[in-house]
Amino acid sequence: LSLKSGLNFFIDNGFLKLDAQDMARFLHDNSETLDKTQIGEVLGKEPDAAFVKVDGADPENGGKGFFLRVLHHYGERMDFTGLMFDDGIRLFLSGFRLPGEAQKIDRIMEKFAECFTRQNPDVFPSADTAFILGFSVIMLNTDLHNPSIKPERRMTIESFIRNNKGIADGSDLPEEYISGIFNRIKENPFSLKEDDEAREKQKAESTKDMFDSLFVFEGPTLFGTNAEEKKREKFRKEREEMMSASEQLFKKRPPKGSRRSVHEPSTRLDRVPPADVVKPMFDVTWGPLIGTLSQVLESTTNDTIIALCLSGFVYSIRLSSHSDMSLARNTFVNSLAKFTTLGSIKHMKSKNIECIRTLLSVAIIDGEHLGESWSPILQCISQLGRLHLFASGLDSEDQFLESTLSTSTSDPTREMEENNGKAVLAAVNEVLIDKVFSSTVNLSARGVVDFIEQLIAVSEAEIAGDTKKGISGVGATSALPKVAGSGHGLEGPRIFSLQR
């Protein structure tokens, strides 16, 4: 999001009003969670910059000079009473990252100087003195702590005192006052908390890498670790930091039932519908998510991991269904249907059967929102009916209805179908299949229409002998070859869905 788009999002969702004073409050109160670089950009905008392009708009409500008013109100919210000058700057800069342009720094430091002088009238003869010294202190902080500046070229205390001679309306500030500022800045630079944490993290990683480099072992040894283990360790640390930050946010929330002012930001947060937050987040993540789930489910044989992957599919289908994200929903349902292997001739594993059970569960619980995603589910149910007949030692309908087939199912294929059918019959009760159809009585009128439309489409595909088209997956092998002149697809005609 751009700066303006981000602010518009907060305004549209009730976090703040299009009002300079309210925006200053929002930026100040939420400085720990917002991007501090963007806060600095808001405060450093040009004096005549407007938020809305409306001629004659009030500067307090988005017209020309709006951002300058935001800076004014932001400074007014700060309390510098009784603070040392450099501590006042430190407090002021703790809520945002100072922009790099000199003109923006000028405007921001000019506001600080005005506020500091008004709240501490006995320190400087005028706000201009505070402004000049403030700008000088910012330059000193950069000069002393910029790693690209060589130590011998850094500013000395004598140079700093000399640079600030005559700034007090023609007079000098006490040398001990200037020296005190220099020494404190040298010992404790201005820095944002996020930068400190990043430096500490980088320092810790550098120390660990240096320790690891002392050992020449490539694989895991008594002392060293391989690259894969390092990645896992970094991932674990990142996850712990995220969990810790989330835990702190939950602890800050007031208990249920506690009375709060309607003007508190937390109340505004509570008024934002979860769907407005979840949908854009899921829209960004569902592509990588389905890739990860599919890759892991394809390669693993661990029952716990399989269960986690299937839970991911269920929740993803539910999220996309309830958020009207038809593309994501169809993709997840189709992918899960292909993992059942009902559209191909191959030996069924236990995870494929679990995929069948999961798909049926989705149909029963989330049928109201499936829409056109009913199609792969009903195709899978059609194939389940076929396998149940094989498991019972009976021929499926296509063997009766297609008497002109010149090529029948080969013995190995027939045997595999029967074995798969027995495995499915033992794990998936026919009652569960019937429940998919009986549960449709709870659907709304729109839901029933969606279900009937896809049931008709699957019935037509069965009659045409082509029910595996949507669920065959990659590299699937069909049960029967297409019969020349028969008018039917890969299978013979069937009436399983038509009978429903």
Q: Which two tokens stand for residue 428?
A: 């998936």
Q: Which residue has the tokens 């996020």?
A: 194
How far is it, in rounded angstroms, from Cα 339 to Cα 295? 11
**Can you list the pairs that 24-31 forms with residues at least 24 positions away whose Cβ atoms lie under 8 Å?**
24/70, 24/71, 24/72, 24/73, 24/74, 24/76, 24/77, 25/73, 25/77, 26/265, 27/70, 27/74, 27/95, 27/96, 28/74, 28/77, 28/95, 29/265, 30/265, 31/94, 31/95, 31/96
**Whether 496 contacts 342, CB under 8 Å:** no
Q: Show Cβ contacts of residue 399 under 8 Å, excluding neighbours closer than 6 positions.
A: 408, 492
How far is it, in rounded angstroms, from Cα 302 to Cα 325? 31
Q: Which two tokens stand for residue 369?
A: 């929102």
- φ, ψ for residue 150, nearest 5 deg: -65, 145
Q: Show Cβ contacts of residue 292 under 8 Å, excluding neighbours closer than 6 positions.
A: none
Is 368 catalytic? The answer is: no
**Whether 49 contacts 57, CB under 8 Å:** no
How far is it, in rounded angstroms, from Cα 207 to Cα 102? 37
Catalytic one among 32, 41, 60, 101? Answer: 101
**Whether 108 contacts 144, CB under 8 Å:** no
Alpha-carbon Rg for the chain, nearest whole angstrom, is: 34
Angle formed at CA 301 by CA 477 and CA 299, multiple of 5 degrees: 60
**Whether 140 contacts 182, CB under 8 Å:** yes
Q: What is the DSSP letter of 373?
A: G
Q: What DSSP letter does each residue of 384-435 carry, written as one string?
A: HHHHHHHHTTPPPHHHHH-TT-SSPPPHHHHHHHHHHHHHHHHHS-HHHHHH
Question: Which one-letter amino acid corresponds to residue 398?
Answer: D
Listed in sequence order, the DSSP H helices in 253-325 are 265-270, 274-299, 303-322
Beta bridge partners of residue 168, listed in sequence order = 171
Q: Which two tokens stand for residue 410?
A: 């080969």
For the four alpha carbons of 199, 202, 207 and 210, in that order, the dihedral sign comes to: negative
Q: Which two tokens stand for residue 258?
A: 């506690």
Task: Catalogue the active-site residues.
Answer: 101
